[in-house]
Structure 1
Amino acid sequence: MARISLTPRRSLLFRATEWYSRRMYGKVLDPARALAHNPRVLWTDLRFEQSLAKWKSLDPGLKTLAVMASAASIGCSWCMDFGYWESRQRGMDVRKLQDVPTWRDSDAYAPLERDVMEYAEAMTANPPQVEDELAKRLLTTLGEAAFVELTAMVAVENLRSRMNTALGLTSQGFKDHCEIPARGRSTAD
């Protein structure tokens, strides 16, 4: 249960955020509802997320795996739920998304993907535990611009996941909207 009311004052900024959120995601995102209690924080977050969407040096699939591995390490169910849905909307392999929390035991990932998730977990540890050899491998393979973007995205996901977890935000049911119904059952069941 959320530690803060998800019914903030209906300012013009929040109403615009609600409209956009419903249009893009089918519902109002709980983090926006929580942040709307402080319009400056909400406005800064919205501008920040728009800026992040313009970063294009890192392969989107690798970015997704890094973000989700970080969210899984922190235990942010909201981020995992939304991340799964958002990545499915972009056509990412279901198995890769489902196996993120147990990626070390899965054969779904290529070596580079494994390095990215290991890096995300190492950065998310407190204190960070990034090893020079791993960083060097990633830097060599990805190049400087993509390596910096990877590092920044993991840091950003730490911000999101830690904030959502501290505010008590949990899954909003996004993942349920992209699951394939069991064979032989209608969606009306």
Structure 2
Amino acid sequence: MARISLTPPRTLFFRAMEWYSKRTYGKVLDPGKAMAHNRRVLWSYLRFEQSVAKYGKLDADLKALAEMASAAAIGCSWCMDFGHWESRRRGMDPRKLRDVPLWRESDAYTALERDVMAYAEAMTANPPEVDDELAARLLGRLGEAAYVELTMMVAVENLRSRFNSAMGLTSQGFKESCDLRDAPAGKSRPTV
């Protein structure tokens, strides 16, 4: 249960954010509702996310796996839910998304994807536990620009997941709409 009201003052700015969110995602995102209690926080965050969305050196699937591995390590069900939906919308393999919490036991991932998720978990640990060998492997496979972007995206996901978890925000049901679309007729899929 959210620790803050998800019915912020209906300012013009909030109504504009609400319209955009409904148009883009089909519903108003709970983190936006929570942040709308402080206009400057919401405005700064939206500008920040617009800048982050323009990064382009890291493969989108690697980025998604890093973000979801970080969210899973923190335990942010909102981020896992939204990340699954967003990645499925882009066409990512549903098995890779579903197996993120159990990536070590899954055979769905390449060696590079495993390194990316290990790096995300190591960065998310408190204090961070990134070792030189893993960093060198990633740097060698990704190059400097993509490695910097990977590192920043894990840090960004830590910000998102920690904010959402601290606010008590949980799944909004995004993933379920993917499961309904992806499942064969008459069958439902297990959820993460």
TM-score grouping bracket, smaller chain normalisation: over 0.9
1:184 and 2:192 aligned: no
Rounded to whole Å, the distance in 1 between the matches of 2:186 and 2:25 is: 28
Instruction: Report the AA paired with residue 169 of structure 1.
Output: L
Alignment of 1:35-74 (within 5 A): 35-74=35-74
Cα offsets for 1:124-152 (capped at 9, x unmatched): 00000000000000001100000000000
Instruction: Give the counterpart letter for 1:117 in structure 2.
Output: M
Instruction: Identify the residue that residue 124 of structure 1 maps to in structure 2.
Output: 124
Structure 2: which 5+ runs fail to align? none
Q: Deviations over 1:14-65 (max 9, x none)?
A: 1010000000000000000000000000000100000011000000000000
Percent of aligned positions that are identical: 74
Q: Distance in 2 between matches of 1:145 and 1:12?
A: 39
- Pairing 1:175–2:175 present: yes
Alignment of 1:95-174 (within 5 A): 95-174=95-174
TM-score under structure 1 normalisation? 0.96
Match of 1:2 in 2: 2
The two structures, once aligned, show a CA RMSD in angstroms of 1.1
Other structure's SS at 1:178 match: helix
Normalising by structure 2, what TM-score? 0.95
Structure 1, gaps ≥5 residues long: none
Q: For residues 49 and 37 of structure 1, what CA distance do their matches in structure 2 show?
A: 18
Question: What number of residue pairs does the alignment pair up?
Answer: 186
